[in-house]
Amino acid sequence: MWKYLGYAGIIIPVLGATYGGLQIASNLETKLNGAYEMAEDAHERIGGIEGRIDFETEEAKRDIENGLEGLSNKLDNQKESMSFKVSEFQREVLQIQKILSVLEGTTQNLEKNSFSNVTTTQLDGVRELVYQVRDANMGKPDNTQMLYDLQRQIEDINRRMSELHNGNWN
């Protein structure tokens, strides 16, 4: 029995060392589990942040695309508006050119018959008026008032010509 008691001196420290080693291993396992849980939590938070970044990036892309599409539509509308205005202006210029052509023809006709129908001064007045309209047409898009003045002067010349043909020399 004493013999076994001698072994007790060896067995008890071995058991103590084993127990201490198991305690250390248990503490390490607990710390490792805590570190693993912290790592999982960190990965979940990183995944959430990445998801929000992806969502916000996609939302920003959509906003930019919508903004660019809106600007493109506005530019298209402005191009159409300007195109319409240019074509309207060109139409008005063509009408004025037609009127000027008629006036030039009338002026040439008046020149041929100037001695029997109108005076040279009246003919020069009409010619000067044609040049004024032509010069004004080059600088201004709106010639409405000048055309009314031109029409009034032409009517005045027609009235005078009628009076000359009817024998009223006043």
Over the stretch 121-153, which tens digit does the pLDDT of each residue have? 776 777 777 777 767 666 655 666 666 777 777
Query: By three-state DSSP, how is residue 159 classified?
Result: helix
Which value, to the nearest 10 degrees, does the dihedral of the CA atoms of residues 52, 55, 57, 61 take? Answer: -160
| Domain spans of the chain, in order of start | 2-166
Over the stretch 145-164, which tens digit does the pLDDT of each residue have? 666 777 777 778 777 777 76
Over the stretch 51-92, which tens digit does the pLDDT of each residue have? 888 888 899 899 999 988 998 899 888 889 888 888 888 888
State the distance between the two ends of the chain, measured CA to CA, in whole angstroms: 170
CB 143 within 8 A of CB 96: yes
Residue 11 CA, distance from chain mean position: 91
Query: By three-state DSSP, how is residue 105 classified?
Result: helix
